[in-house]
């Protein structure tokens, strides 16, 4: 058989396959979500997310130590406050759960990179991502509290803020308040194309943030839409975002590809709770090889064009990368 091109030549053994990999990953591009519960001492397993824990303020440094031991140097913080009200006032309290967690981490691990999720849904008693006017979330009133919340995170020592609420104009509002207070160097990672997804189910039970009525379709994006993601990214770029994000990841690889092709900003993807829970459940049922599916799923997100990934598997992935099993 006369064949000039034989693609199999570059698949013949592990060494040549590793040489020719087109997608490279690094533990540096992984971000681990940490849930801090103000009412908790020690740690408590999160039922909806097997293998994940809630951390009390007394043990949040333990979460950091686990990350560092695995080679993960970046986290995104979520808070479960002791107190909720209609406007989510503990979101911006100087002694709020996230603010206290940041200080505790930064005191012991100043180099550990702390991103904070900026949203109201964990702090409002109705579970929506902003201030209500009747049964609607009032966009412009919400901007004020989001901006105050982001500022309080940065004042407590956060390295980066990540608004996940999907209000219009929030990046501009946050950029303005940070700049006014001299935090011109603090980056904003915008959850730009965040879809109204069923994949957030386990997170909402973990963070106690399910809406008490209705849904989030009035502010999060319709999963049918692709061009709208480009529009959301364009607006966030104009408003001063430093990093764009697509969320969820696996069902939105096309969106990750298009947005990363269209914009020069670094692109983050969030492999959300439902994606993680599905792998865990299938693995627990003996139906799949968890390790290989974890690796392949993460890899596909980078191949689609993401430069960084928020994932509950960050620690295991960092180790898989270090072993050379992926990336
Ligand atoms: C807050 C927020 C959510 C997630 C991240 N930030 C939940 C939501 O929008 O309902 C989801 C993360 C996950 O599912 O892992 N708004």
Q: What is the CATH number of the domain that holds 77?
A: 3.20.20.70
Q: Which atom of ligand 1 is nearest to the CA of 312?
A: 15
For residue 133, being part of any structural domain is answered with yes
Cα 83 to averaged position of ligand 1 atoms, centre (Å): 19
Q: What's the gap in Å between 88 CA and the centre of ligand 1? A: 16
Task: Report pLDDT for 117.
Answer: 98
Q: Ligand 1 pocket test: which of 209, 210, 274 has the largest number of ligand atoms within 8 Å of its C-beta?
A: 209
**What is the best residue among 81, 145, 198, 200 to mutate for testing ligand 1's pocket, by most ligand atoms within 8 Å of CB?**
200
Residue 78 backbone dihedrals phi, psi, to 5 degrees: -120, 140
Domain assignment of residue 257, yes or no = yes
CA of residue 1 to ligand 1 center, whole Å = 55
- Which residues contact ligand 1 via a Cβ below 6 A? 117, 119, 121, 129, 164, 200, 203-204, 209, 216, 272-273
Q: Establish whether 84 is a catalytic residue.
A: no
Catalytic residue, candidates 247, 280, 315, 323: 247
Whether residue 50 is contained in a domain is answered as: yes
Q: What are phi and psi of 191, to 5 degrees?
A: -70, 85
Alpha-carbon distance of 304 to 249, in angstroms, equals 10
Residue 323 falls in the annotated catalytic set = no
Domain membership of residue 248 (yes or no) is yes
Atom of ligand 1 nearest to the CA of 310: 15
* Ranges in the chain, pLDDT < 70: none
Residue 230 belongs to what H/E stretch? helix 227-239
Per the CB < 8 A criterion, the answer to whether 265 and 242 are in contact is: yes
| Residue nearest atom 12 of ligand 1, based on CA coordinates | 272
Cα–Cα distance measured from residue 298 to residue 317, given in angstroms and rounded to the nearest whole number: 8
Ligand 1 center from residue 127 Cα (angstroms):
12
Estimate to the nearest angstrom the gap between the alpha carbon of 232 and the chain centroid.
Answer: 17
Model pTM score: 0.98
Spatial neighbors of 286 by CB under 8 A, at least 6 apart, are: none
Question: Considering only CA atoms, which residue is closest to atom 5 of ligand 1?
Answer: 164
If you take atom 2 of ligand 1, which residue's CA is the nearest one? Answer: 164
Q: Which atom of ligand 1 is nearest to the CA of 129?
A: 16
Which residues, listed in sequence order, are joined to residue 118 by a DSSP beta bridge?
Answer: 163
Separate counts of helices (H) and strands (E) for the chain: 11, 12
Model pLDDT for residues 66-125, shown as the tens digit of each residue: 999 999 999 999 999 999 999 999 999 999 999 999 999 999 999 999 999 999 999 999
DSSP 30-91: EEEEEEEETT-SSEEE-TTSTT-EEEEGGGHHHHHHHHHHHT--EEEEEEE-S--BTT-GGG
Q: How far is the CA of 68 from the centre of ligand 1 (A)?
A: 24
How many domains does one find in the chain? 1
H-helix or E-strand spanning residue 93: none
Other CB atoms within 10 A of residue 215 CB: 11
**Residue 7 lies inside a defined structural domain of this protein:** no
Active-site pick, 148, 194, 280, 315: 194
- Measured between alpha carbons, how far is 295 from 303 in angstroms, rounded to an integer? 12
- The pLDDT assigned to 327 comes to 86
Distances (CA, A) of 188 to 30, 123, 210, 239: 17, 21, 25, 10
Q: Which atom of ligand 1 is nearest to the CA of 276?
A: 15
Establish if 19 belongs to a structural domain. Answer: no
**30: Cβ–Cβ under 8 A, 6 or more apart, which residues?**
72, 74, 308, 309, 311, 314, 317, 318
Nearest residue (by CA) to ligand 1, atom 11, is 200
Nearest to 78 by CA among 171, 161, 199: 161
Q: Are 133 and 167 in contact (CB under 8 A)?
A: no
* Three-state SS at 239: helix
Atom of ligand 1 nearest to the CA of 220: 9
Residue 86 in tokens: 């209609």
Q: Are 54 and 38 in contact (CB under 8 A)?
A: no
CA 199–ligand 1 middle distance (angstroms): 9
- Give me the helices (H) in 71-192, please: 97-108, 139-156, 170-180
Q: What range does the domain containing 143 cover?
A: 24-323
Which is the closest atom of ligand 1 to the Cα of 210? Answer: 10
Determine the Cα–Cα distance for residues 173 and 167; give it in Å rounded to an integer.
Answer: 10
């Amino acid at each position: 058989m006369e064949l000039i091109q034989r693609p199999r030549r570059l698949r013949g053994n592990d060494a040549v396959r590793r040489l020719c990999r087109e997608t490279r990953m690094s533990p540096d591009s992984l971000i681990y979500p940490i849930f801090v519960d103000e009412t908790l001492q020690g740690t408590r397993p999160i039922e909806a997310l097997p293998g994940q824990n809630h951390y009390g303020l007394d043990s949040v440094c333990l979460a950091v130590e686990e990350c560092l031991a695995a080679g993960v140097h970046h986290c995104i913080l979520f808070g479960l406050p002791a107190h909720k009200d209609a406007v989510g006032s503990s979101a911006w309290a100087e002694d709020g759960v996230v603010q206290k967690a940041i200080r505790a981490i930064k005191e012991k691990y100043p180099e550990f990179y702390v991103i904070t999720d900026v949203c109201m849904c964990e702090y409002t008693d109705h579970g929506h991502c902003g201030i209500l006017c009747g049964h609607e979330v009032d966009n412009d009133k919400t901007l004020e509290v989001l901006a105050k919340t982001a500022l309080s995170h940065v004042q407590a020592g956060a390295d980066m803020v990540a608004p996940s609420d999907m209000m219009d104009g929030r990046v501009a509002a946050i950029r303005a308040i940070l700049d006014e207070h001299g935090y011109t160097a603090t980056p904003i990672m915008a959850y730009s194309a965040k879809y109204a997804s069923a994949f957030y189910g386990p997170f909402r039970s973990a963070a106690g943030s399910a809406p008490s009525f209705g849904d989030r379709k009035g502010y999060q994006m319709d999963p049918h839409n692709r061009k709208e993601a480009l529009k959301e990214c364009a607006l966030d770029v104009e408003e001063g975002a430093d990093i764009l994000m697509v969320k969820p990841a696996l069902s939105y690889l096309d969106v990750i590809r298009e947005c990363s092709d269209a914009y020069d900003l670094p692109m983050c993807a969030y492999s959300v709770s439902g994606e993680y829970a599905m792998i865990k459940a299938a693995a627990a049922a003996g139906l799949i090889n968890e390790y290989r599916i974890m690796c392949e799923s993460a890899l596909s997100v980078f191949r689609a064009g993401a430069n960084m990934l928020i994932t509950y598997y960050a620690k295991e992935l960092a180790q898989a990368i270090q072993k050379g099993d992926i990336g």
